[in-house]
Amino acid sequence: DRSKGKIRRIEGLEGFTFLQQINLSYNSLTVIEGLDSLPNLIELNLAENAISSIEGLRSLRALERLNLSGNSISRIPESISALISLRILRIARNKLIFIEDIGNLRSLPRLSRLTLNDNPISRIGLLRPYVILAIPHLNVLDGLDILADEHDSVRALWTKPEKHADL
């Protein structure tokens, strides 16, 4: 059992509008809250907590790096599209089960690195090609570069009608 910190709520940050980084990993957070007054936040690390849903982030339009790994998150909501500056999303070791939620990341124009490993959806055999097709501007998935020839082969695989029937 990992020893966790004692922080249970994100609060008292209203006066820190110029704050650019927050690391609250390895605590006892269950909800993402109290971040609305941080318009300049670039990096947020909430890894290894007990967070069950992605919420409370809409106002973080400057956020570039978000680490939610090691939580209890089961869905990637459409509201994640508000994070227009997001480049790196780590959401490994969660409870993601709906492959269609990956499509909600497509609207993040700057997303270039995504970490999904050790989620229930990671056991889906065609997850990597699905993600590459769903988020064409992605450069790195689960620590592995996505090369141009992989993009091409994925497009070729998924454009053949007989392949769709097997999925």
**Per-residue pLDDT tens over the stretch 16-70:** 999 999 999 999 999 999 999 999 999 999 999 999 999 999 999 999 999 999 9
Task: Using pLDDT thresholds of 50, 70 and 90, give the confidence band for residue 1.
Answer: very low
The pLDDT of residue 159 = 73
- Report the pLDDT averaged over residues 126-136: 93
Q: Is it the case that residue 123 has pLDDT exceeding 60? A: yes
What sign results for the dihedral spanned by CA atoms 56, 42, 92, 135?
positive
- 24-54 exposure pattern, b = at least 16 Cβ within 10 A, e = fewer: bbbbebeebeebeebeebbebbbbbbebbeb
Tokens of 78: 């459409």
Q: What is the pLDDT of residue 157?
A: 80
The whole model's pTM is what?
0.91
Portion of the chain with pLDDT greater than 90, in percent: 84
Total residues belonging to the chain: 167
- Pick the range with the lowest mean pLDDT from 43-52, 89-98, 158-167: 158-167
